Every structure is written in C-alpha cells, then in structure tokens.
Structure 1
Amino acid sequence: MRFELVRNLKGDEILGKTLFDGYGKVLLPSGTKLNTPYINRIKQSGFYYIYIEDKELDDIKEDKKIDQLKQSTIERLPNVFTNIMQGNKDTVEESFKIVEDLAGYIATEGDVNTNLYEISKYDNYTYIHCVDTAIMSIFLGRSLDLKIEDLTELGISAMLHDIGKIKISNEIINKKEPLTKQEFEEIKKHPVYGYRMLKEAGVDNKNILSAVVEHHERVNGKGYPLGISGDKVSDYAKIISVCDVFTALSANRSYRERYNPNEAYEYIISNGDIMFDTKIVEKFKENFFIYPLGCCVKLSNGIEGYVVKQNKYFPDRPVIRVNYDHITKEKINSYEIDLLTTFNTIIESLVY
C-alpha cells in the first residue's frame, strides 16, 4: 500500500485500506476503484491521507483486525457515553468490555505502524479522538510492559478521558475563532466534569478516575485542573496525555488544520520533561515513528522513495525503497536504502 494525499488522487486508484466515517460505518471498503464521485466523498468526509494499492509496495499490508475492532468501538462508544450519563452501573461495566478485545489484540499481535496516522474530520471528533487515544495508549502501555489487565484498564481510561466534554456547549467545542478567557476556563473543567460523571455512574476504580481527571496535568505543574506535577500525576494520566496531544494534533479541528505527522511527532519529543514524563516520551520515541509506512520522502541527496520498514529506536531513519528516478520521474529497478547504515543521508521532507 502507498500513503497518498487525497488532493493528489486522479481516479482509477484502488483503495488499499477501508475508510470509516465518524460513526464507525464503512465509508468505502478496501479494494474500491476510485472515481471522481468517490474522491469527492473522501474529501467531503475530511480525509487528508489515504492508503491506495501499489504493486511495488505490496509488502505493506492492512491490519484488518484492528480496523474491525476500531470500527466496532466507534460504533458502540456513543452508547457507552449515554449509559454513563444515565448512571446505570451494571450497564456501564458491561460497556467497558468493548475495550477488552482491543487491548487483548494489541497486547499480542497489533502492529503500531498501521494505526498512528488515521485522519478524520472534526465532526463527531470526540468519539474518534477517544478511540484513537485509547488505541495509541494501549500500544504505549504495551511498550512499558503493562500486563493485559492493566492495558485494559488503561484503554478504558483513555476511551473515557474526554467524556466530560459532553457537558460543554457544542458552540464552544466547535468554535472556529479563538476562545475567550471565560470559554477556555469552561473547557478546562471537562476533566472534572468527566470525573463526576463516572463517579455518579458508579465507577469506583481509582486508576480510571485519576486518569480521567489528570489527563491534562503536566509534569512541570503547568497543567489543569489540579496543577499537580511530577510523580503526583498518575502513570495512566502520563501515558494518556502524550497520546491525547498527539492524536489531537494529527486531526483536523474546527479552529485549525491538522499538523503533519512529523510536526506532531516532534512536538511530543521536544516536550519531554516539560509537559510529558521523560520515560514515557522515550518509549514513544522507541516504538512510534515519524514517517508512516508507504509515505514518500525526499532524502538529503535528492533521491525520493517510499518508507517500507521502520528501525526501532531510530524513528527518523527508516528503510526507503526507491523505484523511480527523482529527476525524470521514470520507473527504475527498485532498490532500498537503509538510513540506519547510510550515515551521510537523512530525510529532508515529505513528498506531497
């Protein structure tokens, strides 16, 4: 599969990865031959990048299982939020089981490379963001050697971290202009709103409650709503805060365009020991990568090629497959450059 900008689609491409709408429904299944109406539908749905089939990159595969789990979770999440708002403890606890399959799969088989750069529109943003944050948090928790029961608990915490936003006016949530001081103060209350909603629904798990109320806390003490710092911030909240910020920056919002993947990644790395816990940022760096599989990059020597493999611990030095001449754009016999062993060459930019 090739990672392609939607604006570059010309038609006749074959969709390499199923696209879902904001409610977990299939927008277009993988294998669909794209045409102008389909491309317009993709654009109108707010997608920025998609995967398309490419015979020269057919070793980059779709993780269909996690896509199915994500789809199911998104479909059921509105009901989870409704159950919490209604305060039915039995129903709430039953709702949490949707995370168990997700955590179990990621703990044993999930491939992190295929899941960090899902681009979604900001309509229904809270549900999409909560599920993406949960998936990423479970991956990060796995790298920190958390047990399966802890990964499930972490996933539930991440899935519910923004539930308090239900209490905030959509006019504020979706406002395109800068928030007033009063509006921002209201936004800052959503962790407390979420904490109270869960308590009222009978959730008494201290790890989940602390993660929800603390996910905007920062290790330097400049977060909210409590202003706590360092080890006073719970471990789950530290993990979720990194994933929350990354997924938020990687999606279009009402008030700004999404960050490029490398920009969002660098933001996390540069804020280690400032906003985020250093150990967790190091694990983020070890296990997540700047450039998605299948994306096209330009190297410092002018050569262009596609990312086909990641090198763990070296997020900016993947393996590149070159299959065309960067000057003439004509096809050539493909070859690979491993940037881990090619010391005098670096990635200069993404090719759009």
Structure 2
Amino acid sequence: MEKARGVRTERIPLGKLEVGQVLTTTLLDEKGQVLLAKGKQITRPFLERLKARGQEYVLLEILEEVEAVAATEDVPLEVKKKTLEDLQDTLTALSQKKSASIQPLEQDVRRFVKGVRDHREVVIPIIQLKKHDDFTFTHSLNVSVIAVFLGKFLGLGEEEIRLLGLGALLHDLGKLHIPQEILQKSQPLTPEEYRIIEKHPVTALKILDEYAAIGGRIKNVAFEHHEKLDGSGYPRRLFGRDISLLAQITAVADIYEALTSDRPYRKALPLFEVVEYLMGNAGYKLDEKVVTTFVSHISPYQVGDVVRLSSGEEAVVARLNPILPFRPFVRLRIKRPDGTVVLSEEIDLSRSLILTIVGEIELQSQIQVE
C-alpha cells in the first residue's frame, strides 16, 4: 500500500538547540506558533530571546509516512434504507402511543455495529441519507451512524456502542409532537416557539417511560442530548458529569449533522465552520475528548468527490489522507479536444505547498433515497 505523508510534532528542551544549527524542519512554540522556519540558522540572539521570555521547550515538526486510506462503504445502503423504514414505523407508533416494539431497531443497530467493527478506515465516513421531507427520520439515522463510529474511536465496548446507536436513533422522538409549522419555519422562532422546541426531550422521556423494555441509558440519550457542560442546556440545565457520556457523544453527532444539513431557515454550513463551532465549544459546552476525537476522525471529502483546486483545475478525490484529511490524494480531470474526460496520475496534496482544494463542484458521496 502506498504511503501518505503527515506531520506530527516532537517536544524538545530548549537546551538541545545549538547556535549555528540549520533547521531541517519548522520550529514552533508550545502553542503551535512558528518560531523559526525550515532552512533558517539558529543564532545566539534568537536563543537568548526565547530564554528571556521563559521558553523551556519547543516543538519540532516531524514528517512521517503512514498508510494511505482507501474509502470503503461504512454501513451498506440497503441496511440504511431498512433502518429508515423501521425508524419511521417505530417512532410514529411510539409517538401515537400505539403498541410498538424497538426490536427491529435493535437488529438494525446490531448491523450498524458490525459494519463499524469491520470498517478498516481511521476516518468517519460522512456518507448521509438525504430526504428533505422526512428530516427528523433521516437526521436521526445519520446521527446514529455517526455516533456509532464515534463510539468506536472513543474505545467503547460493543454493548456500549449498541446502546449508543439505539439511543441516537430515538433521540428526537419528542419532535414528532411539535407542529410542522414550527419545525419547518423559515423565519426566526418566537420565544414561545423556542419553549415548545425545548420540551421535546421531556416528551420523548414520557413516551419511552411507558415501555419497560427500553433501558434507562437509552432513555437518557433522548432526555439529555441537549444538555451542556456549563449548565446552559435543556431541559434540566445539567452540569458536567451529570450528563451521561452516551448523551454527550450523541450531542456532538447531532450538532454536526444538523449544521451540515439544509434547513428551511438556512443552508448547510461549510465543514470548516462546523468544525470551528465544535472546537470553540469543546471543554466549555461539549465534552472536549468527544469533540477532539470526532474532529480528528472526520474527512471533509469522500472518494469520488469532484473538487476545484487553487490552480483552477478540476480534480477527483482518489484516496483519503488519515493524518491530513484536508489534503487527500487527487487525480486531475483533463478534458480532451473531443470532449471526453481522462484522469491524471495521483497527486498527493500533502506534498504540495501551493496546490490546495478551494471548493467542491459535486457531492457524489451523498446517497439519495428515492
């Protein structure tokens, strides 16, 4: 398998640096700010300035090679379609207080877990089912798939991941009791409408409490996924460790999926904005370990995506880079005089200083449900 080049940092004592050394890599401070660029010579005044400001350690950028990742399917499309049907039937029956069983969903989640266990990538494949008129159902399915992958990368056991996946499927059950004119409203919500929205976790818990077969940890996901570490969430304004881990994982998956989806009141946000939002709330409103694990395992691109490069050329994503996910392997789309398109040899964007992706032309990785 070919190698992808990535970057890590190595922390070394300031005393290891010597006057006259020429850097073969970039020198950083412990906040990641560049102190001295590759190819520059270390001088005595430079070292004295670092000592004067109390600098005891510096970071060296180290290039390393790892196996490049070829994307594979995460959870088969037929499993997702079957789960979507089961989810719609089950949530509708639960919300209408009809006789219902979550056994079909349990079987679906077991298939998810198997797909995740067998998945060989080190990135979460953000391949989503999209069907705008059934947002609550497709959103819940996408959140469950993302949460299950996230649970795997957080090191949860298989039973924990199963409970996580099932709780995530049921997390928005209470929204089926919210009028569509509120859920689909394109204008800002009124304070009263916000209060109605904030009741959906309580509604979900009341419904789920009527089913003895549904365990408490699953119910907690539906009840607590809008709680925040700083107590600013709802419905109970819980703090920190009072919020269950499975709910905190679901919260990150929920926010990501919601912000990257088109809604009546806004278009989907670019991935970099969503990542900035998640990182900005890590350790403050959202669990820091959950957020950093998620961000370090998502890929902004999928194999087959058509992108525009900074050179103005079009390219197809050929393979993913697990260390530098924003720098995948691409192949240029070359148009012949006769109108046909051929692909160039692979280009490793992690090795290019000037060639970057500036936008997507198509989103071929999105799976449409007919």
The reply to whether TM is greater than 0.5 is yes
Is the alpha carbon distance of 1:212 and 1:110 closer, same or farther for their aligned partners in structure 2, counting shifts above 3 Å? Answer: farther
Greater CA deviation, 107-116 or 145-154?
107-116
1:151 to 146, 161, 166: 161
Question: What secondary structure does 2:109 align onto?
Answer: helix
Look up the match of 1:248.
258
Map 1:324-335 → 2, pairs under 5 A: 324=334, 334-335=344-345
Verify: 1:231 aligned to 2:231, yes or no: no
Amino acid at match of 1:295: D
- Residue 303 of structure 1 deviates from its aligned partner by 4.4
For 1:97, what is the secondary structure of its paired residue? helix
Q: Which residue of 1 aligns with 2:170?
A: 160
Is the Cα contact below 8 Å between 1:114 and 1:293 reproduced in 2? no
What is the match of residue 15 of structure 2?
A: none
Superposed displacement of residue 73, structure 1? 0.3
Q: TM-score, normalised by structure 2?
A: 0.70
SS of corresponding position for 2:266: coil
8 A contact 2:331–2:343 mirrored in 1: no
**Displacement after TM superposition at 1:197 (Å):** 0.9
Question: Which residues in structure 2 correspond to 1:149-298 (within 5 Å)?
Answer: 149-203=159-213, 205-298=215-308
CA contact (8 A) 2:71 2:302 kept: no
Within 2, Cα distance between the matches of 1:213 and 1:114?
26
The answer on 1:109 being equivalent to 2:115 is no
2:132 match: secondary structure: coil
Which is higher, the Rg of structure 1 or of structure 2?
Answer: 2
> Structure 2 unaligned runs (5+)?
1-68, 363-370
Change (3 A) 1:315 1:231: farther
Shift of 1:315: 2.4
Q: Whose helix proportion is higher, 1 or 2?
A: 1
Task: For residues 228-280 of structure 1, give each alpha carbon's deviation from its aligned partner in whole angstroms, at most 9, with x where no partner exists.
Answer: 23222211111111111111122222222222444434433443223322111
Aligned residues: 292
Shift of 1:64: 8.7
- Among 68, 81, 85, the alignment partner of 1:75 is 85
- Percent of aligned pairs with the same residue? 30
1:131 lines up with 2:146 in the alignment? no
AA at the equivalent of 1:271: N
Q: Which has the higher strand share?
A: 2
Quote the Cα distance in structure 2 between the aligned partners of 1:151 and 1:90.
23
**8 A Cα contact 1:122 1:251, kept in partner:** no
The separation in 1 between residues aligned to 2:132 and 2:285, in whole angstroms, is 25
Aligned residues of 1:116 and 1:136 also touching (Cα < 8 A):
yes
User: SS of the counterpart of 1:145?
Assistant: coil
RMSD: 3.0
- Residue 101 of structure 2 aligns to a residue in which SS? helix
